[in-house]
Amino acid sequence: MIIKKKNIRTIVITCALLGIIIFSIHSYNVYMSRQIYNEGTSNVKASYSQVNQTFNMFAQRNWNVLSDWNVYLTKILNNDSGLQWNDFVREKEKWHYSDFYLFNEKNQFITIEGRSGVADNAKDAFNELFKANEPVISSYISTKGVRKVLFAYPSDGITVDGISYTGLAVSYDNTDVERMLGDKAYKDQSDCYIVDSAGNVILSIEPKTEIDDMVDNLINFIGDNATDYDTDDFYDVKTNIADGSDGCFAFSYNKKDYYMTYQPTGIKDWSIVGIVEAKAVSSFMFQVQYSTILLIGIMFICVILLICMYVMKNTRLKLQKEKLTVMAVSHEKEISDMLLNSLARIVDRYALCDIENDTYEYHERLARKLYPERGSYSDLVETISNRYTLLSEEESKDISELLSLENIYSQIKNEHDYFKFECAENNSKLFLSMTVIPARWEDGRLTQYLLVSQNIGEKHKMADLANTDMLTELYNKRYFDTIMNMRVQRGKAFAMIFMDLDFFKPVNDIYGHPVGDEVLCNVGKRIINSIRTADYAFRIGGDEFACIIDGNADEKNCLEGIERLQRVICNPYNIHGRKIKIGVSCGYALYPSDADKVESLLKIADSRMYAEKEKHHADRR
């Protein structure tokens, strides 16, 4: 049976370690993938920011040149200077353009090389200029199937051979634009496009990789052909490009992973889109990631193998040790039972607390039994905490804190450890010393302990005299101040009630002080009988009394308690055959809702008490 349990434990540990390995590798892989993605897209975005700036400069240069040519051509063509017109032909080699030409709304055109005709292929691009009436960039497919990039500029009108032209344009083969503007940092492993807000390709400015050269709409192409991408992220791509925002995106195409970044160009509603193969950006980081995962896996496997070897090597020794332990536990139990029987003859009372099963057994040597003989350990701790108050340096704590499992485990770590504390029963003269002693251990864990209780009334007799009012035997003003400060320091809610007897002076004047003293003693007894054992009653001095009510009382509950006290105290007193009637004025304060300092609480209660006293005297008048 022991061997079987050990085998099961080994299997469980091994499975747990395997689970940890898989989880760790997965977590590391997810984390590193995210980091690589963030770093890679950040680098790609930075690269295409430079391309974007270059594109803007290129566009602006063409518009500036067209503007200058518009003025110049108007002048030279009106003077019919053919030589100067031919000067523009020589600019072709310098600027690498495909054609420079004039055109009009009828799609008629004439190039600087003398070609003329009707350009139906470019009519959409021409119409875009006339519709916007401002410089534009567009693209079209020529009759030879080549994508052309067109920079157009409006003109006031230039007449050549009797035909009026209202626009100037310079066009480039898309491949020439790619060569002039393309970023070669990724060695032909990247694409770059200028797209409009709907994703339509205006032009491409970088050599292609796997993506079709003649893509019309880049967003639709990726949506239809890409794989392994997040649909929410793809939706964000469409939304952001439409809104002119920037961002990044990851997808796969033809079994290759790609990073895509996009950002507005600042021209119209266009965005520049860069697509780079992931390994071209992050190949080194991927190698680090895979190598690290492999290393982690090897390390964990080695650890598991070492653990298995250790377990197998020590199995026999552990079995022998367990047998010896069983024998020792059995012997220890016999000794413990003998000690418990002997202990019952010596101490006043003790409880054997089974913290493992939340039970206890209570033994009492004296006549007065303080608790039930058996029950729940949690209930026993609650009962002791409510009935007693800690003394000396422990006053700012609860007994429940000292007897909590956390505190017991922290203080009792071996069979030689123990701790004790002193406490007093509320509103009585019972003082106890309680000692926590370990009684039973299982697998090095404390499972049972003895809570030994001894009366120490004599020790606290003098202290009790100092805290007790000699006439009424209630607690005095000194102890009232101590309890108030202790309660506020602990930060637990309570209610404080001030009571001042009304019409008590005539009792002393008419019947004498001995009768007045008996009335005060009877008032004290009635107060004690009207509150709980967990609460406190005090004689502050003269005919002034006070109560401290434990717990989170609200104003309604406090007023109900005051009404009960007034009803009890105001009942007539029969002293030596004389029927004596007095009144009482009460004031209260709630901690912490009324105030969180002792001085403030006393002022509030005192003010409420005297306000009620004034009312009582006014009613009597």
| Alpha-carbon separation of residue 520 from 335, 473, 507, 580 (angstroms) | 56, 11, 11, 12
Beta strands 419-425; 388-390: pairing state: antiparallel
- Taken in order 69, 71, 72, 76, the sign of the CA dihedral is positive
Rounded to whole angstroms, the Cα distance separating 126 from 113 reads 20
Which residues are CB-neighbours of 207 under 8 A, at least 6 positions away? 178, 182, 188, 190, 191
Q: Which residue has the tokens 């980091």?
A: 35
Structure tokens, 615 = 């009312």
Tell whether omega for the bond before 592 is within 30 degrees of 0, i.e. cis: yes
DSSP secondary structure letter of residue 617: H
Residue whose C-alpha is closest to residue 468's, from 478, 481, 460, 453: 478
- Taken in order 399, 400, 401, 405, the sign of the CA dihedral is positive
| Alpha-carbon separation of residue 433 from 169, 396, 436, 451, 609 (angstroms) | 104, 17, 10, 10, 39
Q: How many CA atoms are closer than 13 Å to the CA of 455, on its beta-carbon side?
A: 13
| Alpha-carbon separation of residue 451 from 382, 394, 518 (angstroms) | 14, 18, 42
Residue 117 parent element (H or E):
strand 116-118
Active site annotation includes 183: no
Rounded to whole angstroms, the Cα distance separating 308 from 321 reads 19
Contact 221/215 with Cβ under 8 angstroms? Answer: yes
Contact 277/258 with Cβ under 8 angstroms? Answer: yes
Catalytic member of 543, 550, 594, 596: 543
In degrees, rounded to 5, the angle at the alpha carbon of residue 223 between the alpha carbons of residues 219 and 229 is 115
Residue type, 491: G
Structure tokens, 127 = 């119409």
Sheet holding 419-425, edge to edge: 374-376, 359-364, 349-354, 445-455, 431-442, 419-425, 388-390
Report the b/e string of 169-194 with b at 16+ CB within 10 A. Answer: bbbbbbebbbeebbbebbeebbbbbb
Rounded to whole angstroms, the Cα distance separating 344 from 436 reads 15
Rounded to whole angstroms, the Cα distance separating 65 from 72 reads 10
Contact 538/475 with Cβ under 8 angstroms? Answer: yes
570 Cα distance to chain centroid: 57
Active-site amino acid positions: 543
